Amino acid sequence: MILPYYTLEQASSVLNNKLKSDIYNPKSILVLALNYQIDLHVHFYGDWKLDFDCHIPLDLTNIKNKSIYSAMIYDLEIFLRKSSLLSSFFLRLSVDAIDYLIVNKKGLAVNEATWFDTVLCLKDALKPEIEQNSLQNYLLREIEHPPFSSLDESEIREVSFLAIYPTTSKYEETKPKPIKYDDEEDIFYPFLKLNNVFITHAQLEKIINSSLVERNVLKNNERKAHLITSAQRGVSKEKQNAKLAAQTLADFLWRNDKDKRIRIKEMAINVRAELFNTNHSSQLPEKAESLEDWIREIAEKYPHSRKGGRPSNRE
């Protein structure tokens, strides 16, 4: 019987049986997912609130686009809320989360870090891999309706979640097991163990058929170390989160800058404009020039970002 998704223990049994091997176990699947483009998800159940950071290809230095952007953010909030209200959904683990789970056997403590980077609705988990993008499935249905009718199809395909932050106020009725980090707040965060991690059948078939593609994993140990150092110096969690969001967005935009035209000055302006309409707005520097310091270590991975000359205008 073919299941739509499997725990890592179940997936290990399938792989060992199909491939006549005994080398597969939950940790070896994690290692494969760290090095190859294999999506792993965590199964959530219950009343979870999903905050997020996202990328929308709008020039927010244009005043007319700000109201459109706000409407799109609101629409995405409704989309995530509806997804979570279905009581059962998946969040995809980021590469950082997979890396952490390999090293930390006790589990993954989810608090403010960017451990999840998109949502997978249960109905989409049954589809072929090319259709297992719940956000894009939704947006392509909405492309003819405001506010997303302001974007063409190529721009719609650029819209993406950069990070999703799940929290809940209901301890008894949710999975994974939620825990508190601050006794003064009535907020719980998910605590993940290997038995919370799932792989869809479409992703499992990649391993079975040896159709694996290497990840272009961008090292971010320096970024993590910088955030830890900042925390030790007393920087607020809100400021750390704003900085991490800025770095994540800059990394995403530079990684997709195929023409290698975006310089650090222009990136700082764009990132600040995009984050200004999010819950990070109160923590942003007053001037874009100051935000350059936040993203400078990301810029070091992209040599073209530091070249001289006038930065190009994004269309």
Percent of the chain with pLDDT over 70: 86
Which pLDDT score, from 0 to 100, does residue 182 have? 67
Give the helix ranges, DSSP H, for the chain: 8-18, 26-35, 63-85, 95-103, 134-142, 153-156, 201-208, 221-232, 237-255, 264-275, 288-299
Which pLDDT score, from 0 to 100, does residue 312 have? 44
Q: Distance between CA 68 and CA 191 in Å, rounded?
A: 36
pLDDT above 80 for 35: yes
pLDDT above 60 for 6: yes
Which residues touch 78 (CB under 8 Å, ≥6 apart)? none
pLDDT above 60 for 161: yes
Which pLDDT score, from 0 to 100, does residue 239 have? 78
Of 49-53, 108-112, 143-147, the one with minimum mean pLDDT is: 108-112
Which pLDDT score, from 0 to 100, does residue 1 have? 61
Reported pTM: 0.70
Higher pLDDT, 1 or 67: 67
pLDDT above 50 for 93: yes
pLDDT above 60 for 221: no
pLDDT above 60 for 154: yes
Which pLDDT score, from 0 to 100, does residue 87 have? 64
Summarize pLDDT for 99-116 with one digit per residue, the tens. 888 888 777 766 656 789
Higher pLDDT, 53 or 180: 53
Q: Distance between CA 74 and CA 9 in Å, rounded?
A: 38
Of 261-265, 283-287, 304-308, the one with minimum mean pLDDT is: 304-308
Mean pLDDT of the chain: 84
135 φ, ψ (degrees, to nearest 5): -65, -50
3-state secondary structure string across 188-234: EEEEECHHHEEEEHHHHHHHHCCCCCECCCCCCHHHHHHHHHHHHCC
pLDDT above 70 for 248: yes
Of 92-106, 279-293, 300-314, the one with minimum mean pLDDT is: 300-314
